[in-house]
Structure 1
Amino acid sequence: MAGNERPRAIADVSAGTILATVTIAVPPERVFRAITAADQIPLWWGADNMYRTTKHTADVRPGGAWRSEGKGADGRDFHVQGEYLEVEPPHRLVMTWKAPWDGDNVTTVTYTLEAIGTGTWLTLRHEGFGPRHDSCRDHGQGWERVLGWLGAFLAGEAGVKAPGVFHCRLIPPRPDFAFTLTEEERALMGRHAEY
Structure 2
Amino acid sequence: MENTSTTLTMTRRFDVTAEKVFDAWLNPEMMKKWFFTMEPTNKVTKNDPRVGGSWEIVDHREGKDYRAIGEYIEVDPPSKLVFTFKMPQFSDMEDRISVEIKPVENGCEMTFTQIIVIPHEEGWTEGDIEKAHNEYSSQTEQGWYYMFLGLKQLVETGKVKYPS
**Range of TM-score over shorter length:** 0.7 to 0.9
Alpha-carbon shift at residue 109 of structure 1 (Å): 0.5
The 2-side partners of 1:37 and 1:156 are apart by 16
Match status 1:58 vs 2:59: no
The structure in which a higher percent of residues are strand is 2
Larger Rg: 1
For 1:58-81, what per-residue CA distance to the aligned partner results, in whole angstroms no more than 9, with x for missing partners?
111111111111112x13111100
| Amino acid aligned to 1:28 | A
The 2-side partners of 1:39 and 1:47 are apart by 11
Percent identity among equivalent residues?
Answer: 25
Within-5 A mapping of 1:125-144:
125-130=113-118, 132-133=132-133, 134-144=135-145
SS of match in other structure, 1:40: helix
Equivalenced residues, count: 145
Q: TM-score, normalised by structure 1?
A: 0.66
The 2-side partners of 1:135 and 1:128 are apart by 8
Q: TM-score, normalised by structure 2?
A: 0.77
SS of match in other structure, 1:125: strand
The 2-side partners of 1:62 and 1:79 are apart by 21
| Amino acid aligned to 1:70 | D
Alpha-carbon shift at residue 104 of structure 1 (Å): 2.6
The 2-side partners of 1:140 and 1:106 are apart by 17
Alpha-carbon shift at residue 152 of structure 1 (Å): 1.2
The 1-side partners of 2:86 and 2:75 are apart by 18
Identify the match of residue 104 of structure 2 among 116, 123, 127.
116
Pick closer, same or farther for the CA change 1:15–1:76 going to 2, 3 Å. Answer: closer
| Amino acid aligned to 2:51 | P
The 1-side partners of 2:17 and 2:47 are apart by 22
The 1-side partners of 2:85 and 2:20 are apart by 22
| Counterpart in the other structure of 1:22 | 12
Alpha-carbon shift at residue 40 of structure 1 (Å): 1.3
| Counterpart in the other structure of 1:170 | none
| Counterpart in the other structure of 2:34 | 44
RMSD of aligned residue pairs (Cα, Å): 2.6
Would the aligned equivalents of 1:41 and 1:53 in 2 still touch at CA under 8 Å?
no
Pick closer, same or farther for the CA change 1:122–1:54 going to 2, 3 Å. Answer: farther
Within-5 A mapping of 1:1-195:
16-45=6-35, 46-47=37-38, 52-72=41-61, 74-100=62-88, 102-130=90-118, 132-133=132-133, 134-157=135-158
Instruction: Specify every segment of 5 or more residues in structure 2 that has no aligned partner in the other structure, as ranges.
Output: 120-131
